[in-house]
Amino acid sequence: MVSAPQPPRRPAVRVTLGQVAATDDHAANREAARDALDVAGGVHADLLVLPEYASAFHRAGVGREHAQPLGGPFVTALRERAAATGTAVLAGTTLPGTDADPRAVNAVVAVDGAGALVGTYRKVHLYDAFGTRESDRLQPGPADAPPLVLDVAGLRFGVLTCYDLRFPESARRLVDAGAEVLVVPAAWADGPLKAMHWRTLAIARAIENTCAVVAVGMAGKGVVGRSLVVGPDGVVGLELGPDPALRTVDLDPEELREVRVGNPSLANRRYAVVPV
- Annotated catalytic, 162? yes
Predicted pLDDT of residue 1: 41
Q: DSSP character for 211?
A: S
* Catalytic site residue from 123, 134, 180, 211: 123
Tens digits of residue pLDDT in 95-140: 999 999 999 999 999 999 999 999 999 999 999 999 999 999 999 9
- Return the exposure string of 241-268: e unless at least 16 CB atoms fall within 10 Å of the residue's CB, then b: ebebebbbbebbbebbeebbeeeeeeee
Among 134, 162, 180, 211, which one carries the catalytic annotation? 162
Report residues of the chain scoring pLDDT below 50. Answer: 1-2
52, 134, 180, 211: the active-site residue: 52
- Does 194 qualify as catalytic in the annotation? no
Phi-psi region of 102 (alpha: psi -120 to 50; beta: other; left: phi over 0): alpha
pLDDT value of position 5 = 86
pLDDT of residue 211: 98
pLDDT of residue 4: 61
Q: Which one-letter DSSP state was computed for residue 222? A: T
Q: Where are the chain's structural domains?
A: 14-263
The pLDDT score that the predictor gives to residue 2 is 46
* Order of all β-strands in the sheet with 181-186: 149-152, 155-159, 181-186, 212-217, 228-230, 236-239
pLDDT (0 to 100) of residue 88: 98
Separation CA 113–CA 134 (nearest Å)? 32
Q: pTM for the complete prediction?
A: 0.97
* CA angle (127 as vertex; 126, 130 as ends), nearest 5: 155
How much is the pLDDT for 3?
Answer: 54
Task: Tell me the fold of 14-263.
Answer: Nitrilase/N-carbamoyl-D-aminoacid amidohydrolase (3.60.110)
